[in-house]
Structure 1
């Protein structure tokens, strides 16, 4: 069965109708936050309610537990030095796993008050960390621990390479997934509060400006997403993966039988799209490669 739905002629070069959607693993309660390590060809992703991070080995197709407990980690990414950076609901913090396995806390508070529940995270090539901080992880016990928010709002934060933290954007209801354009000049952020995606211009010093609505989701809401080398956005949605042209037009879909939460590029050519979808991990091979800035 062809998993692709073409809505625009510009989608034609981005998929192969003969490609199949591979179902790699099930047994999750809420699969999220995939991150890929090219050096050993493994993908890690969060199973938030089960309080664990799982690991898929491309070379053997085996799945094992990478970390348990994971402090109800959600989003994960790999920094330019090849270290895992994670957003944790449980401890309400952003951490980095060093090469020796030790954990470094990058942020757990702002202005003397605890963060809400860091959700997703990206790292710019200069080491600047951006993360979203909605309150999903403290609104009950399913994905963390119920607590009253201490922050005045739900913001996008920026951590400088030297460790200072500040609010990068405060004009979203529930900032969620985020990713850079291939040249790192634009930062895209999904706002699950109103089912939109916003775009921000990124200055050399990391500050953001030019906030604008980039796209509006037509099925469910945007959550996590990644870009390919050509600047197309491959985003989670309620009926699969939505593919957005750099001008914001929805040009195609990858149909998935479960609601999708996040995606990540992998494979030795960086053209295998991994898909975290509710209970399962899927993957599909594409004729395009993911952007290097992930």
Structure 2
């Protein structure tokens, strides 16, 4: 899939072609050289100016997921295979925020400073930071464990929505995907039935928290649901169609690559997919795509004014200056 390099501008495409040609006569490490390149954006009104650099920060991270803004404006994400949460400062200084994160994937800061995460090591949701306040919020539902807790979003009332994407790629088990809600009182309920979504992945709330968005990696659409007063869902819709549709992934399965979700101050939805970051308005209309050399997995706004869009995927991190800040009411 990476061989087609969709949406990449000519300078980047030429650089990669030269590297591949060089590989025929001498050994080169294409991965590091090919992707340590800034891509350039097309013009997307209200999002980016034409020619804005998608700045390469670093590659070689051990898993790249769960990005959010830290309270100080720096950028946090999980290195799932390394079992840590990593911090990137605005000047690109990289440090470790938390070791032994229990395989944290999706992240969210609560108003009291607790860092709530979905944790793939035990397939549970809980608090991993600060030290001394760690606790499990939920580890099973009706006596059955989750298969692979993936992403979460925290509502302003303290409720938590999270996805269970089904068994991991190396696990032979019947998929039992779902979306769940932990109420402010700590009670958990399933709000999207088992296998109603092929592979629920990234999850996000609209600005007014009346709509829940769910990325379906196994389908062509980001889905939307109306949120009821008790946190349950109704009125499922195909909200936004991933423009390049379904493609075969590394395992040969059809996938849109729809994964991480973020929203900006005007309600636009940013979706990582097979070809970059797809941007939609608050009605689901496709506005344009931001090209990324590495196939991205997740995305978040950070920086002092939340006008930097950070993109992570396949062990690499990038950032791009945007015209509209990320929504102030959400850590992404």
TM-score (norm 1): 0.88
Query: Structure 2: which 5+ residue stretches go unaligned?
Result: 1-8, 10-38, 245-255
- Name the counterpart of 2:214: 189
Equivalent-residue separation in structure 2 for 1:29 and 1:237 (angstroms)? 20
RMSD: 2.0
SS where residue 168 of structure 1 aligns?
Answer: strand
- Name the counterpart of 2:205: 180
**1:95 touches 1:105 (CA, 8 Å); kept in 2?**
yes
| 1:205 equivalent among 211, 220, 230 | 230
Deviations 1:163-185 (Å, cap 9, x if unpaired)?
10000112212111011111111
How far did residue 66 of structure 1 move? 2.5
How far did residue 153 of structure 1 move? 2.1
Could you say which structure has the higher strand fraction?
A: 1
| 1:52 equivalent among 80, 84, 92 | 84
SS where residue 105 of structure 2 aligns?
Answer: strand
SS where residue 119 of structure 1 aligns?
Answer: strand
How far did residue 281 of structure 1 move? 1.1
**2:75 touches 2:303 (CA, 8 Å); kept in 1?**
no
Deviations 1:158-203 (Å, cap 9, x if unpaired)?
0001110000112212111011111111110011122321101112
Equivalent-residue separation in structure 2 for 1:227 and 1:266 (angstroms)? 12
**2:152 touches 2:160 (CA, 8 Å); kept in 1?**
yes
Deviations 1:68-89 (Å, cap 9, x if unpaired)?
3332222112223332111111
2:115 corresponds to 1:84? yes
- Name the counterpart of 1:154: 177
| 2:270 equivalent among 223, 234, 242 | 234
How far did residue 233 of structure 1 move? 0.6
2:248 corresponds to 1:217? no
- Name the counterpart of 1:37: 70
Larger Rg: 2
**2:73 touches 2:306 (CA, 8 Å); kept in 1?**
no
Instruction: List 4+ stretches of structure 1 deviating above 4 A.
Output: 146-149
TM-score (norm 2): 0.79
| 1:163 equivalent among 177, 180, 186 | 186
